[in-house]
A and B are shown apart, each in its own frame.
Chain A
Amino acid sequence: MSAPAPKLVLENLSMVFHTGGKEFVALEPADLVVPTGKFISLIGPSGCGKSTLFNIIAGLQAPSTGRVLIDGQDYTGYIGQVGYMLQKDLLLPWRSVLDNVALGMEISGVPIREARARALPLIIKYGLAGFEHQYPSSLSGGMRQRAALLRTLLVERDVVLLDEPFGALDAQTKSQMQEWLLQIFADFGRTVVFVTHDVEEAVFLSDEIHVMASRPGRVIETLPIDLPRPRDRAIVSTPRFVAMKKYCLDLLHMGEQEAAA
Chain B
Amino acid sequence: MNAKTSTLPSPTAFNGAKTASGATMPKRMGRRLPVRRIWPTWVLLSVQFGILVAFVALWELAAMAGFIDTFFWSKPSAIASTMVIFFTEGNAVTDIVYTFRSTILGFILGTSLGAVLGMSFWWSRNYALIMQPYVICLESIPKLALAPLIILVFGMGLSSKVAIATALTLVVSTLTAYSGVQAVDRDQEKLFYSLGASRWQVFTKLVAPSCIPWIISILRVNIGLALTGSIVGEFVASQYGLGRTILYAGQTYEIALVWVAVIVLSALSMIMYVAVSWLERYLQKGIVR
Contacts and interface: CB of A to CB of B under 8 A. Distances in A.
Interface of A: 58-60, 79-82, 84, 86, 88, 90, 92-94, 103-104, 106-108, 135-137, 155
B119 to A, nearest CB: 15
A82 B193 CA distance: 11
A80 B195 contact: yes
B187 A90 contact: yes
Contacts of B193: 60, 79-80
Most buried by B among A60, A104, A108, A135: A104
Contacts of A84: 191, 194-195
Closest 5 CB pairs of A and B: A80-B196, A84-B194, A93-B289, A135-B289, A107-B197
B183 interface: no
B209 interface: yes
For the side of the interface on B, what is the size category?
Answer: 10 to 19
Q: Which of A59, A93, A107, A137 has the most CB of B within 10 A?
A: A107
B289 A58 contact: no
Given A79-B193, A90-B191, 11 more contacts: A58-B194, A59-B194, A60-B194, A82-B194, A86-B194, A90-B185, A93-B289, A103-B195, A103-B205, A136-B289, A155-B195
Contact of B192 (A82, A94, A107): A107
Contacts of A81: 196
Contacts of A107: 192, 195-197, 201, 205
A137 B201 contact: no
A86 B195 CA distance: 12
Contacts of A104: 195
A94 B195 contact: no
B196 A94 contact: no
B264 interface: no
Given A94-B287, A107-B201, A60 B195 contact: no
A81 B209 CA distance: 26
Contacts of B79: none
B289 A94 contact: yes
Contacts of B287: 94
Contacts of A92: 188, 205-206, 209
Contacts of B190: 60, 86
A68 to B, nearest CB: 14
B212 to A, nearest CB: 8
B280 to A, nearest CB: 16
22 contacts: A60-B190, A60-B193, A79-B196, A80-B195, A80-B197, A81-B196, A84-B194, A84-B195, A86-B194, A90-B188, A92-B206, A92-B209, A94-B288, A94-B289, A103-B205, A104-B195, A106-B205, A107-B195, A107-B197, A107-B205, A108-B196, A137-B289
Interface in B202-239: 205-206, 209, 212
A108 B288 CA distance: 26
Contacts of A136: 289
A258 to B, nearest CB: 32
Contacts of B212: 94
A80 B194 contact: yes
Interface in B154-193: 185, 187-188, 190-193
A5 to B, nearest CB: 23
Contacts of A93: 288-289
B286 to A, nearest CB: 9
Nearest to B188: A90
A90 B206 CA distance: 11
A137 B285 CA distance: 13
A178 to B, nearest CB: 23
A213 B187 CA distance: 25
A242 B289 CA distance: 45
A244 to B, nearest CB: 31
Nearest to B213: A94
A86 B289 contact: no
A155 to B, nearest CB: 6
B209 A94 contact: yes
Contacts of B187: 86, 88, 90
A132 to B, nearest CB: 15
